[in-house]
Chain A
Amino acid sequence: MNFDFSDDQKFLKNEARKFLEAQCPTSRVRKVLDEDAKSFDEDLWKAVGEQGWLGAAIPEQYNGLGLGRLELCVIAEELGRAVAPIPFASTVYFLAEAVMLAGSEEQKAYLLPRIAAGEVIGAMAVSEGPGVTSASTLQATVEGGTLNGVKLPVTDGDIANVALVLAKENGKPGLFIADLTDASVTRDALKTLDPTRDAARLTFKDAPVRRLGEAGQGFELLEQINDRAAVLLAFEQCGGADRCLEMAKSYALERYAFGRVIGSYQAIKHKLADIYVKNELARSNAYYGAWALNTDAPELPVAASAARIAGSEAYWFASKENIQTHGGIGFTWEMDCHLHYRRSRQLSLVAGAPRVWKERLVSQLERRNAAA
């Protein structure tokens, strides 16, 4: 047993941090935030591609680096810390992982090298409206290889060229690969809580699609994909939450009130201690998830749920209490606090809200408990 990353992985993390500090200061994030027309940081996306990160976990036979998922985890943590405004999660955690998990040889050979080369931006098109998407609410349909329906919000839907779409075929849910550059697809940008990660409404009118994985297995496959993504998203959440703690701490050591630094008041000290505790619990759960992901362990669904729940809770708590620690200045557009507050919402919702994951976790514990 060894509950830590290896020295090589720590080295990679360190390099990733240095790279992102140089290439992705929050001034760059703000360009995407402030310019309505700008959906993501294209230069950063290119630079990240040149680092090989897009193909980090893609096997060498598909032009990836062939590293493990643990390497992807440390990169994810740094991207989260930097609030990177790029479609990395949609492309790497969702699309690439889905294709590696369930794609045909042909789909792998077509998509994986293009993802690794930075030519493909992915998107997950699942939600169709308010509330949880389930077999009984699902409207989009596929018939004779063409898709009709409306999906929103689709994170990165305005910039992606390939989407995975959940739709019914002969009444049964499936996942389908759609080419978003096709004329049959209309995209409308949406206003979102986190403008550094844009989303769109996608309208499909007789769009040609190919199925990913087995017919009728849409939700099962989606769960497996979400499990994988959840672990990687949890590392982004840990990175973001730790950054919030750092920001809160350094402000608490500089700001004076009533003749002393605010960090000397217990109300602030204990708040920061609580952030620290939540962050550490999230990190420990994420580590277990990383191991389960990397070894494709049968524990993955439970481990991923725990990682996602803890990660969502920690980042939410850290991001809101970081603003509180800053007082009035924390509520300004100029301070970076809200970048994390926004991103924490984006990350908690993008693969299904924590409530849904808690339900999933408990159903699995029930099954395990009944079997024991």
Chain B
Amino acid sequence: MDFKDTPEEAAYRQQVREWLAANAPKKREGDPDPLGESSDGLAASKAWQAKKAAAGYACITWPKEWGGQGGNPIQQVIFGQEESAFPTPGNPFQIGLGMCVPTVMTFADEDTKKRFVGPAIRGEEIWCQLFSEPSGGSDVAGARTRAERAPDGSGDWIINGQKVWTTGAQFSDFGIVICRTNPDAPKHKGMTMFWIDMKDPGVEVRPIHQMSGGSGFNEVFFTDLRVKDSQRLGAVDDGWRVSLVTLMNERLAVGGASGAGWSAFLESARQTPGLDGGAAIKDQALREKLADWYVQAEGLKHTRNRTMTALSKGETPGPESSIGKIISAVQMQELANSAVEMLDQYGIINDPSLAPLRGAFQASLMSAPGMRIAGGTDEILRNIIAERVLGLPGDIRVDKDVAFKDLPTGR
């Protein structure tokens, strides 16, 4: 057990520091944006991604031949630690590089991989994940978007249907989409995965106005979208298994919610008048909460680091990574709410020019409900831990052995 760098790690850190000092932005462009709700910073994000890619820092653990650095997960941790000290722009590439592209790399042919991996790493092309539908997000296997063979015998597929809550679809170039190909089979056995061109005329993206005010996610409609059979990922009707690869990577990519954390709270509590005219940080109730948040945040950080150690020993990430989002999304919400309540009547003000920390707590408060839902709800993640880590039985299912088309549906 050693929480300090080995000599090689220290050298790597030094190299990273020097590179960041010379290349990283010194000043943030626009406000930090936990859900990627605006595309204002897109140019800055792309520029930063290109710089990292050129230096090998974009996907440190990926093989060199694919544009990575062939590095180990600990180096990834080191880079992350050092990068977080800089006001870098938002990262709209996470869904692509964390989930979609690894899925493409697992299931696509060489030519497809060669075509897509490089531009994705360099931030030239952005990917989105088209899984959730109006009829179900937790229940991914309930997808109704249809893909049918074109009647002309070309082997092409014609896609019709609708996806929803698709983060970044408005500025994405490509996406992976899970479709129903056999409604006569039980739900898990009749789906197929494809990659698609988001700029195709058969794809229509309509931004959704979120409760937080922004529009980071979208409705996506497919009208006779024609795709080649070579755009299929995995076997016909085997899309469920392909989606599991995406979702396994998701657990690592969506490590935790960001937003204003315990140190921002501490800073704010030192400057805000409390119960008796002294600083709010003297309030014992707030102190105890602060201690709890710190302990959770530290626990999560070290849990992630333990996972990285396991990865660097060649183990695969297990469902235990779900812990990260269960804890951090709820903490984000509770911490933001306490911070807003600490301001007393003033807390209601949501104007960055008046609210402390440019309204970071108000922004967290309004984003947090989405974090508890995105990438698996609190409830679904608890099911995953109970079933796949602890080995408790799955929920009783009424939908397993029934043909998809005969399943009952609600709203």
Contacts and interface: CB of A to CB of B under 8 A. Distances in A.
Interface of A: 1-6, 9, 70, 245, 249, 252-253, 260-261, 263-264, 266, 268-270, 272-274, 276-277, 280-282, 284-285, 287-288, 290-292, 294-295, 305-306, 309-310, 313, 355, 357-359, 361-362, 365-366, 369-370
Contacts of B298: 284-285, 288, 306
B392 to A, nearest CB: 4
Contacts of A306: 294-295, 298-299
Interface stretch (B3-11, B20-28, B36-44, B342-350): B3-11
Given A1-B6, A252-B392, A273-B390, A287 B294 contact: no
A369 B295 contact: no
A291 B270 CA distance: 31
The B contact surface, by secondary structure, is helix
B300 interface: yes
A1 to B, nearest CB: 5
B100 to A, nearest CB: 28
A70 B1 CA distance: 8
Interface stretch (B84-92, B224-232, B241-249, B378-386): B378-386
B1 A269 contact: no
Contacts of A361: 291, 294-295
B306 interface: yes
Given A3-B309, A70-B1, A361-B294, A264 B379 contact: no
A366 B394 CA distance: 46
Interface string B326-344: 1100000000000000000
23 contacts: A1-B5, A1-B74, A2-B1, A6-B1, A253-B393, A264-B396, A269-B383, A269-B386, A274-B382, A277-B323, A280-B299, A281-B299, A281-B300, A284-B300, A284-B301, A284-B306, A287-B306, A290-B1, A306-B295, A310-B295, A362-B281, A365-B290, A366-B281
Nearest to B279: A366
A370 B279 CA distance: 14
Contacts of A274: 382
Nearest to A357: B291
Contacts of A263: 392-393
Given A1-B6, A290-B1, A276 B303 contact: no
B60 to A, nearest CB: 14
A340 B306 CA distance: 27
Given A1-B3, A270-B383, A287-B306, 4 more contacts: A249-B391, A266-B379, A282-B299, A369-B270
Contacts of B296: 281
Interface in B360-394: 379, 381-383, 385-387, 389-394
B83 to A, nearest CB: 16
B294 A366 contact: no
Interface string B300-338: 111101101110000000001001001100000000000
B12 to A, nearest CB: 11
Interface in B181-217: none
Interface size class of B (residues with CB under 8 A): 35 or more
A85 B291 CA distance: 31
B267 interface: yes
Contacts of B263: 365, 369
Contacts of B3: 1, 3, 288, 291-292
Nearest to B383: A269
Name the 5 nearest CB pairs between A and B, nearest first. Answer: A281-B299, A358-B291, A269-B386, A284-B302, A273-B385
A2 to B, nearest CB: 5
Nearest to B326: A277
A310 B300 CA distance: 11
Contacts of A245: 390
A67 B215 CA distance: 58
B292 interface: yes
A358 B385 CA distance: 29
A57 to B, nearest CB: 15
A4 B302 contact: no
B1 A4 contact: yes
A280 B382 contact: no
B155 to A, nearest CB: 44
A68 to B, nearest CB: 9
A284 B300 CA distance: 8
Contacts of B392: 249, 252-253, 263-264, 268-269, 272
Contacts of B306: 3-4, 284, 287
A284 B299 CA distance: 5
B65 interface: no
A1 B291 contact: no
**Max chain A C-beta neighbours (<10 A), residue from B74, B287, B290:** B287
A236 to B, nearest CB: 18
Given A273-B385, A277-B327, A281-B323, A310 B270 contact: no
A164 B166 CA distance: 63
Contacts of B291: 305, 309, 357-359, 361-362
Contacts of A280: 299, 303, 320, 323
A277 B396 CA distance: 24
Contact of A4 (B310, B323, B386, B391): B310
- Of the listed residues A249, A261, A280, A282, the one surrounded by the most CB atoms of chain B closer than 10 A to its CB is A280
Contacts of B323: 276-277, 280-281
Contacts of A2: 1-2, 309
Interface in B243-299: 262-263, 266-267, 270, 281, 284, 287-288, 290-292, 294-296, 298-299
Contacts of B407: none
Nearest to A288: B302
A264 B295 contact: no
Nearest to A309: B295
Contacts of A358: 287-288, 291-292
A348 to B, nearest CB: 14
B300 A273 contact: no
